[in-house]
C-alpha cells in the first residue's frame, strides 16, 4: 500500500487560542496545508469580521465548512422521532418538529453543526493524505488532553508545547492588532451567541449590547417546545435584566432575598 503524504490542518475556531496558534505556526514556518473553520452561522458579527481580517493579515484563505442544513432547520423544522409522541403532545399541547434548545446532556448543535461537517470534510482528505490537526488547547487547559478525541495520534497541540496560556494567547493576538472589536472585553468565551449554556452574566451582556441578536433569540424561543433554560425563558430573562437595571438605578441591591421575592412577583404578574 502506498504511503499517503502528510497533510497539516489548523482547526480554527476563530477565538483567541486558535488564532494565536495559527499566527505562531506561520511565524515559525511550521507546515500548514489548510486552515478550516466550521461555520455554524451563529458566530457574533465581530467574529466574522475577525476572520476576514485574519485572512487578509496572513494572506491565505480560510476554508469555511458548513453543515448540510442551518441551525434553524435542526432547531425547529427537522422531523424528529419522539420516544413517546403521545406524552410529548400532552405535555406541550401539540407536535413540534426539531430538537429544540440544546441542554447539558444534549448538545446536538455541536454534533450537527461542527463535529459532523468537520469529520465529513476530513474523511475525504484522509482518502488521499495522512491528516494531522493542530488543535488550540492551551497550557492551562491540559485536562482537555485526557479526552479521547484529543488523544488521537493525528492531533498536535502546539500551545501546550509552547507553554502558552489563555492569557498569553490573548496578548499575542493583541500585539498583532486583533481585538475582536471588544468581544473579549465583554465575554470570557466567544462561541455561538445564542448558546443556552451561557452564564447569566454573559446573557445579560448579550441583552444589553446586542439588541438585534437578542430579538432573534426571543423569536427562536417562541418557535420551539423546550424552555431556553431550566430556570428562565428568554422573555423571563428580559424581565429579570430590566428589573435589575431598574433596581440598580434606584440604589436597590439585586442579590438579596427581597430582590428575588420582588422578581418572582414581577414574573408571575407578567404571565411570562
Read off the pLDDT of residues 73-117 as tens digits, 9 standing for 90 and up: 999 888 877 666 666 565 555 567 888 998 887 889 999 999 999
* Count of beta carbons in the 10 Å neighbourhood of residue 185: 9
* DSSP H helical ranges for the chain: 16-27, 45-58, 71-76, 85-92, 108-110, 116-126, 158-162, 166-174, 183-186, 200-209, 211-221, 234-249, 257-270
Q: 258 in a domain, yes or no?
A: no
Of the candidates 22, 28, 27, which has an alpha carbon nearest to the alpha carbon of residue 63?
Answer: 22
Q: 60 in a domain, yes or no?
A: yes
Q: 272 in a domain, yes or no?
A: no
From first to last of its 272 residues, the chain has per-residue pLDDT tens of: 568 999 999 999 999 999 999 999 999 999 999 999 999 999 999 999 999 999 999 999 999 999 999 999 999 888 877 666 666 565 555 567 888 998 887 889 999 999 999 999 999 999 999 999 999 999 988 777 777 777 778 899 999 999 999 999 999 999 999 999 999 999 988 889 999 999 999 999 999 999 999 999 999 998 888 889 989 999 999 999 999 999 999 999 999 999 999 999 999 887 64
Count Cβ atoms within 10 A of the Cβ of residue 97 and give its class: 0-12 exposed, 13-18 middle, 19 or more buried: middle
The domain that holds 137 is classified in CATH as 3.40.50.620
Domain count, the chain: 1
Task: Provide the residue range defining the domain that includes 32.
Answer: 6-197
pTM of the model: 0.89
Instruction: Give the pLDDT of residue 58.
Output: 98
Q: 268 in a domain, yes or no?
A: no
Amino acid at each position: 500500500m502506498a504511503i499517503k503524504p502528510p497533510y497539516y490542518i489548523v482547526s480554527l475556531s476563530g477565538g483567541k487560542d486558535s488564532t494565536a496558534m495559527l499566527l505562531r505556526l506561520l511565524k515559525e514556518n511550521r507546515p500548514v496545508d489548510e486552515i478550516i473553520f466550521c461555520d455554524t452561522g451563529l458566530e457574533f458579527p465581530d467574529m466574522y469580521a475577525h476572520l476576514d481580517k485574519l485572512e487578509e493579515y496572513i494572506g491565505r484563505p480560510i476554508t469555511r465548512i458548513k453543515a448540510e442544513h442551518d441551525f434553524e432547520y435542526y432547531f425547529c423544522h427537522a422531523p424528529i422521532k419522539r420516544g413517546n409522541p403521545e406524552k410529548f403532545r400532552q405535555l406541550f399541547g401539540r407536535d413540534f418538529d426539531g430538537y429544540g434548545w440544546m441542554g447539558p446532556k444534549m448538545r446536538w448543535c455541536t454534533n450537527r453543526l461542527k463535529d459532523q461537517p468537520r469529520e465529513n470534510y476530513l474523511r475525504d482528505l484522509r482518502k488521499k493524505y495522512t491528516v494531522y490537526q493542530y488543535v488550540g488547547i492551551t497550557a492551562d487547559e491540559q485536562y482537555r488532553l485526557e479526552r479521547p478525541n484529543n488523544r488521537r495520534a493525528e492531533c498536535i497541540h502546539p500551545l501546550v508545547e509552547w507553554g502558552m496560556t489563555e492569557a498569553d494567547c490573548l496578548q499575542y493576538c493583541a500585539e498583532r492588532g486583533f481585538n475582536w472589536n471588544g468581544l473579549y472585553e465583554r465575554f470570557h468565551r466567544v462561541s455561538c451567541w445564542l448558546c443556552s449554556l451561557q452564564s447569566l452574566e454573559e446573557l445579560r451582556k448579550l441583552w444589553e449590547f446586542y439588541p438585534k441578536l437578542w430579538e432573534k433569540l426571543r423569536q427562536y424561543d417562541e418557535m420551539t417546545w423546550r424552555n431556553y433554560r431550566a430556570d428562565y425563558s428568554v422573555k423571563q430573562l428580559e424581565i429579570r435584566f430590566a428589573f435589575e437595571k431598574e433596581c440598580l438605578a434606584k440604589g436597590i441591591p439585586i442579590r438579596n432575598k427581597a430582590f428575588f421575592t420582588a422578581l418572582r412577583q414581577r414574573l408571575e404578574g407578567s404571565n411570562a
